[in-house]
Structure 1
Amino acid sequence: MSLSQSAVIRMIATGLAIPFIGFGINAIFNPDRALAIFELPSPPADRVLVDSLMAVYGIRNIFIGFAVYAASFLGTSRSLGWTLIGASAVAFGDGAICWTHGHGQWGHWQYAPMFTLLGSVILGVFDGPWAFLMGKK
Structure 2
Amino acid sequence: MSSTPVLRNAALLISIFPIALGSLALFNPHYMLVKMFEYPLPPALADQKVTLNQMRSFGIRDIFVGAACLGAWYRGDDMMLGFLVLMGAGLAVGDGFAQRSAVGRGQWTKHWVFVPVLGGVGLGLMGGV
TM-score w.r.t. the length of structure 2 is 0.88
Identical amino acids, percent of aligned pairs: 36
**1:5 aligns to what SS in structure 2?**
coil
Contact 1:20–1:61 (8 Å) recurs in 2: yes
> Structure 1 residues 106-115 or 36-45, which shifts more?
36-45
Distance 1:44 1:123, change over 3 A: same
* Matched pairs, number: 124
Pairing 1:95–2:93 present: no
Aligned counterpart, 1:59: 60
Render the CA deviation track for 1:28-70: whole Å, top value 9, x for unaligned.
1111221132221222411210111011000000000001101
More displaced 10-residue stretch of structure 1: 104-113 or 30-39: 30-39
* Paired position in structure 2 for 1:123: 126
Give the match for residue 9 of structure 1.
Answer: 7
Question: Residues 32-51 of structure 1: matches in 2 within 5 Å?
Answer: 32-35=30-33, 36-45=35-44, 46-51=47-52
Distance 1:74 1:5 in 2: 14
Letter paired with 1:115:
L
Unaligned runs of 5+ in 2: none
Superposed structure 1 runs of 4+ greater than 3 Å apart: none
User: CA-atom RMSD, angstroms?
Assistant: 1.6
CA distance in structure 2 between the aligned counterparts of 1:15 and 1:90, rounded to whole angstroms: 17
Give the distance between the partners of 1:22 and 1:48, measured in 2 at CA: 23
